[in-house]
Amino acid sequence: MCSLDGDVCVVTGACGFLGKTLIRMLLDQEKNLSEIRLVDINVNQELLQSLEESRGEIKLSALEGDIRDSDFVRKACRGATVVFHIASIIDVTDAIDPSEIYGVNVKGTQNLLEASVQENVASFIYTSTVEVMGPNMEGEPVVNGNEDMAYRTHLKSSYSKTKKEAEDQTLGYDGEALPNGGRLATCALRPMYIYGEDCRFLLNHMADGVRNGDVLYRMSLREAKVNPVYVGNVAAAHLQAARCLRDPERREQVAGKFYFVSDDTPHVSYSDFNYVVMSPLGFGIQDRIVVPLRLFYVVCFLWEMACLILRPFRRVVPPINRQLLTLLNTPFSFSYDKAKRELGYAPKYTWQQARSNTTRWLAQQLPKQREKIFTK
C-alpha cells in the first residue's frame, strides 16, 4: 500500500471528535508526512500541545477560520496534496437554522472543492454519513446493506439533505482538471453512528441517565438494530482512502466512489448500545420506551405543529421529532465489505478494545457529570 511520504495534509474540523483522532493516527502511522494543517473555526491549543511529542519532523500548522470564507479556504489548501474534509454541522433535532447548516455543509464543501482545483490538490476525502441513505419516513429496514442496493431514500432533516448534497458535489468533482495538468481524485466515506472517546452524544445520554437515577432512557426498540462504528476505525478508513488515492494502481478503482464504514461492533439498538458501554459503570436501562411508539409519533407531531405555530414569534425546537424517532427505531445496518475489498480497510481496533476504551473514558467523565448535575 502506498504511503503519504512528503504529503501536506489539510484536515478540516481538526479539533473535533473524528478530526483529532485522524491527526493522531497520521502522526503515528505516516512518519514522513511533510505537514498537517489543522483547520477549524477555533483551534484548541491544548490539542496542539498534546501533539507536539508525537509529531517528530512533521510540521503542524493551526489555521483558524470559517470554511464559508473562500479566501481562507484557498489559503489553507495552497501547496497541499490531500484534503480530509471532516468539518460539518451535525444536527439531529433541527435545532439550528437550515441556512446555517447549508452554509457550512454545502457552501463550505463547495469552497474546499474549488480551492482544491485552483491549488492543485491531488486527493479529496469527504466524511459523509449513513444518514444520506436514510432511514426513510416509512421506516423501511436495511440489514447488512451495501453500496449497490436500491433504497427509497426520503431525506427530511437539513443535516441529511445537506450532507447528501455535499457528498454529490464531492463525487461530481472527481476527475476535474488541475492547472498543473493533473486531475483531482475524490471519494466519500459513509460511517455509521460514530462512538468512542469524546463522543458528545454518549455524554448526553449518560447525563440523562444520571438525572434519572442511573437508569438510561430507552428510546429504541430492541429489534431496531444498527451497527455503530468506533472512531479509531473511521480514522483508519480515512487513512486507507488517502493511500489508495495516492497509489496510481488503485486510484482509478476508488476515485469517484462512496463507501460505507462500519466495523465488528455488535448489531444492537441505539439505546441498547448505550447500555452496553455504560452498564459496567452501574447504569441500568428502562425495559420499554416511555410511551408506546405509535403514541410517541403522535406526541412528536403535536410538538412539531406547536413549534411551527410559534415560529413567527419564537424559534422553539422539540426535544425529539418524528424523523429522529424513526432513525432510532428502524433496523439500519451496513457492511464494510466493499471498503475492505477496494480500500484495503480493516478495523484497526477490535470490538473489545473499542468498548474498553469508550467505557474507560466514560468512567473518567462520570464524576464530572455528577458534579455538574447535582451542584446546579
pLDDT (tens digit per residue) in 12-24: 999 999 999 999 9
pLDDT over threshold 80, residue 376: no
Q: Position of cell 501547496?
A: 79
**Mean of per-residue pLDDT scores for the chain:** 94
In a domain, 127, yes or no: yes
**What pairs with residue 127 in β-bridges?**
189
In a domain, 291, yes or no: no
For residues 162 and 101, is the Cβ–Cβ distance under 8 A? Answer: yes
Just list the catalytic residues: 159
In a domain, 18, yes or no: yes
Mean pLDDT value of segment 245-264: 95
Number of structural domains the chain divides into: 1
For residues 224 and 331, is the Cβ–Cβ distance under 8 A? Answer: yes
pLDDT on residue 105: 97
Residue scoring higher pLDDT (102 or 154): 102
In a domain, 38, yes or no: yes
Chain segment 30-74, per-residue pLDDT in tens: 999 999 999 999 988 888 888 988 888 899 999 999 999 999 999
The H or E element containing residue 82 is strand 82-85
**What pairs with residue 123 in β-bridges?**
82, 185
In a domain, 376, yes or no: no
Predicted model pTM: 0.95
Q: How far apart are CA 76 and CA 60, in angstroms?
A: 13
In a domain, 55, yes or no: yes
In a domain, 109, yes or no: yes
CATH code of the domain in which 70 resides: 3.40.50.720
Domain of residue 247 covers 8-202+227-267+332-352
Q: How far apart are CA 92 and CA 270, in angstroms?
A: 14
In a domain, 140, yes or no: yes
* Cis preceding linkage at 98, omega within 30: no
pLDDT over threshold 90, residue 346: yes
Q: Which three cell numbers stand for residue 360?
A: 474507560
